[in-house]
C-alpha cells in the first residue's frame, strides 16, 4: 500500500518528501508525478513506507500539517483501477458532434 500526499508545493523534490516521511519510519519509495508538457511536479506524490504501522503514523502525523507554506493532504492511496473506473466512460460523450458546426 502507499500513501497519497496532496497539496504539495510545485518546488518539492523527492528528497524533500523522503526527509519528512523518514521521521515516521523507513521510506521505501517516493514518486512525484510530473506534468508531461512542463516537466514540473503536479502538486502531489506517492510514498511507500516500510510497514503499515509506519504508514499510519505518517498519515496521522502529517495530514493537515503545514509544510512549505501549504496544508498537506495525506491519506492511503486508492488503487489505480478504482480511480480510473469512475471516469472511464466519459469519452463517448465529449464530442458534442455536429450540433455546433452548422
**Looking up cell 458534442, which residue turns up?**
96
pLDDT reported for residue 82: 47
Q: Which of 22, 11, 21 is nearest to 69 (CA)?
A: 11
| Stated pTM of the model | 0.76
What are the tens digits of pLDDT across the range 53-99? Answer: 999 999 999 999 999 999 999 999 988 764 444 455 545 545 555 55
What are the tens digits of pLDDT across the range 4-52? Answer: 999 999 999 999 999 999 999 999 999 999 999 998 899 999 999 999 9
Amino acid at each position: 500500500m502507499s500513501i497519497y500526499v496532496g497539496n504539495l508545493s510545485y518546488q518539492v523534490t523527492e528528497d524533500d518528501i523522503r526527509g519528512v516521511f523518514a521521521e515516521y519510519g523507513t521510506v521505501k519509495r517516493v514518486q512525484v508525478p510530473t506534468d508531461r508538457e512542463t516537466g514540473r511536479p503536479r502538486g502531489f506524490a506517492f510514498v511507500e513506507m516500510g510497514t503499515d504501522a509506519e504508514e499510519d503514523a505518517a498519515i496521522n502525523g502529517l495530514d493537515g500539517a503545514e509544510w512549505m507554506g501549504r496544508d498537506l493532504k495525506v491519506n492511503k492511496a486508492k488503487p489505480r483501477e478504482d480511480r480510473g473506473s469512475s471516469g472511464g466512460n466519459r469519452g463517448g460523450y465529449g464530442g458534442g458532434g455536429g450540433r455546433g458546426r452548422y
